[in-house]
Amino acid sequence: MVRTYRRRQFLSYVAALTATSALPAEAVSTQCDGWPDWATFREKFVQADGRVIDFSADARSTSEGQAYAMFFSLVANDRQTFDRLLSWTRANLAQGDLTARLMAWKWGRQTDGNWGVLDSNAAGDADLWLAYVLFQAARRWGDSSLQATAELIQARIQRELVVTVAGIGPVLLPGPQGFALKSGGWQLNPSYLPLPVLRGLATEVPSAVWGALLATTVTMIESVTPKFLVPDWVAVRPELGFTLDPELGYGGTYEAIRVYLWAAMMPTEDPMRSRLLARMKGMATLVEREPVPPARIDAYSGGSEGSGPGGFSAALLPFLDAVGAKSAVRQQRLRLRAMGGVPSVYYEQALGLFALGWMDQRFRFAPDGRLDWGVISTCKT
């Protein structure tokens, strides 16, 4: 399951800082001068064939990593790398056909020594990002095949990952299998639901599902933040609605850190943005009190522990800026500078590209959820 993988991945970050050079990626030879951080990410983590490598997890690849990298390459106007990423994803995570199935979420070295799919279950957030990115890429590059593929992917997400809970409305399961609770209902992951992406899908697709899912996601976050802190996992049951659940734990760590980021990246005109930021203000309080983000919070008690990695400092910058915590923004920037930048680990680098790219106005989400590009660069070929 994704949850187990993330825990192992997070615990391996420190070791990975000294091990990432053990299996270097074969970088694409082009340089995207307009966004140096993307060029660095591509050089370190993207193979020439378009595979994104997570060195902190046995050189595995994930559907999340592929979708994130496609988003970054789109923002950078790096069509060559985008096409390679999409081609590898199609061939290796979708058995050659993204119109026929959702992506397998994990790919790597199998027990027999061969490389291939390690877990065919899908990861809902990666599929959401992929559909969204293909819609935006089709618009930017005038490619009708990308548009058609995006429409088919979002329709399959609706069929396989969206369930309607009585009295609640639609929710997104983290994957097709493995997320039903023994006590009834389902376990959900708030970070799997980037609000700007849901808004964008609601614009691109003439369906009531995406707008309704946007509303239930806001309700979910408001329901599970009694101390104004976001957990990694929550429960939903027809008779109880959205709740914190001891079966899942109350911790908020490497998953939930993204929720603060997604909310802050919503356009200021979106009325849901202020509602969400208000429900997360506990994190700003913690970071203002102790200028290193906690590695873990307890969403039930409000407690915190440990020191989060540099990627957490980067991820929180848009949120801290959005809630007016200027001194905390400065502290996190100073921390990153003292560390020599975001640590060279896949997940932290991905958080950094989202957060710092947004802070540098390289992209924005329009009120309708579609992507607005800031610095538009064309990579040399």
Looking at the annotation, which residues are catalytic? 64, 125
Beta strands in the chain (DSSP E): 61-62, 106-109, 115-119, 162-165, 169-172, 186-188, 234-237, 241-243, 251-252, 296-298, 304-305, 363-365, 371-373
- Give the chain's radius of gyration (CA, Å): 19
Provide the b/e sequence for 272-290 (b: ≥16 CB within 10 Å).
Answer: bbeebbebbbbbbbbbeee
CA distances from 38 to 46, 49, 77, 324 (A): 11, 17, 11, 28
10 Å CB burial of residue 317 (0-12, 13-18, 19+) is: buried
Of the candidates 323, 346, 347, 342, the one whose C-alpha atom is nearest the C-alpha of residue 332 is 342
Please state at what angle helix 281-289 crosses helix 310-322, rounded to 10 degrees.
120
Q: Is 237 helix (H, G, I), strand (E, B) or coil?
A: strand
Look up residue 310 and give its amino acid.
Answer: G
Is residue 308 within 8 Å of 292, Cβ to Cβ? yes
Q: Which two tokens stand for residue 62?
A: 């994930």
d(CA 313, CA 68): 19
d(CA 139, CA 82): 14
d(CA 171, CA 223): 14
